[in-house]
Amino acid sequence: MPGLSSDLPVTTYTPGSRLRHPILLLREMWRDLKASRELAWRLTVRDISAQYRQTALGYFWAVFPPLVTSLVLILLRASAVMDVKGIGIPYPAYVMMGTVFYQLFVDALNAPLKVVTESKAILTKINLPREAFVLSGMGQVLFSFGIKVILLIGAFIYFNVHITWTTILVPIPLLGLLLLGTMFGVLLIPVGLLYKDIQSALLIATSGLVFLTPVAYPPTTPGTLGKIINLNPITPLLMGAKDVVIRGIPGDLGPFFLVFGLTVTFLFIGWVIYRLALPIIIERIGA
């Protein structure tokens, strides 16, 4: 048409799936991942500043969930509701460690959907590397986890917990917990953007899941409950982290590496689904 510049970018939509050209898709994914690093950093700093700017208690809110959960579990054991033995360290320190590590998974699970949902206005108007929002969520989770670790170190010092040099290996299972939560969170983004029920369901699910995860006790419960705990994918990673700190080595490496490997695999699949589905969902939201 007269008066229109021929240099304007043109986007052509075709019915063909991007999966028909996997090599090209992988190149685009890697390119956008590298391009999203600076944006992810800026989003992380912005969101962390906004999160704690207008709060009376500030960073205390980062440690509030695991602290409350720990106190409840400690009271349950003190009331003889739970009988936990053979944990190797004082029970309050054991519970604090379990809740801090479990909260890492919970925060990683909620972060992708939360960040993308809060950025819908940007996504509908500006074409940005969408990986930046997931990376930003992971950055916020790690920042919050760092604050919780300070609380955990204080508990270890107070209860005189001795750790071995192999504790330097604990980032490996903790990375597994971070990736496991992120994997589930990324897979839920397409549905969560369309239905707000997902965020409410996650809150309920993670509140109940804490009792089906060996946060406050070792996974030695017999019967059906014990089978559920052992089938829980969080269990090998969480127990791996606790065993490295307490005993110096994970108790069972087979399930640990199996869950870690499956986590990485399904995280990649979730990444592909995220890239393919998000433009369609954003277009529907912005319509």
* Residue pLDDT, tens place only, 255-285: 899 999 999 999 999 999 998 888 888 777 6
DSSP classification of residue 229:
H
Indicate if the pLDDT at residue 245 is higher than 50. yes
Which pLDDT score, from 0 to 100, does residue 9 have? 45
Which pLDDT score, from 0 to 100, does residue 82 have? 66
What is the value of pTM for the model shown? 0.85
Residue 217 in contact with residue 81, Cβ under 8 Å?
Answer: no
Task: Please name which of 134, 108, 110, 109 lies closest in space to residue 278, comparing C-alpha atoms.
Answer: 134
Q: Say if residue 224 is exposed, middle or buried (CB neighbours under 10 Å; 0-12, 13-18, 19+).
A: exposed
Which pLDDT score, from 0 to 100, does residue 267 have? 95
Task: Please name which of 233, 94, 254 lies closest in space to residue 177, comparing C-alpha atoms.
Answer: 233
Indicate if the pLDDT at residue 6 is higher than 60. no
> In angstroms, rounded to a whole number, what is the distance separating the alpha carbons of residues 273 and 267?
10
State percent of the chain over pLDDT 90.
29
> In angstroms, rounded to a whole number, what is the distance separating the alpha carbons of residues 181 and 60?
23
Least-confidence region, from 2-11, 61-70, 182-191, 226-235: 2-11
What mean pLDDT is reported for the chain?
Answer: 83
Number of H helices, E strands in the chain: 11, 0
DSSP classification of residue 81:
S
State percent of the chain over pLDDT 70.
85
pLDDT band at 3 (very low <50, low <70, confident <90, very high): very low
The winner for highest mean pLDDT among 106-110, 118-122, 198-202 is 106-110
> In angstroms, rounded to a whole number, what is the distance separating the alpha carbons of residues 147 and 140?
11
Mean pLDDT for the stretch of residues 23-47: 86
Residue 161 in contact with residue 90, Cβ under 8 Å?
Answer: yes
Mean pLDDT for the stretch of residues 123-131: 80
Q: Where are the alpha helices (DSSP H) in 82-162?
A: 91-118, 120-123, 131-158
> In angstroms, rounded to a whole number, what is the distance separating the alpha carbons of residues 15 and 26?
19
Which pLDDT score, from 0 to 100, does residue 236 have? 93
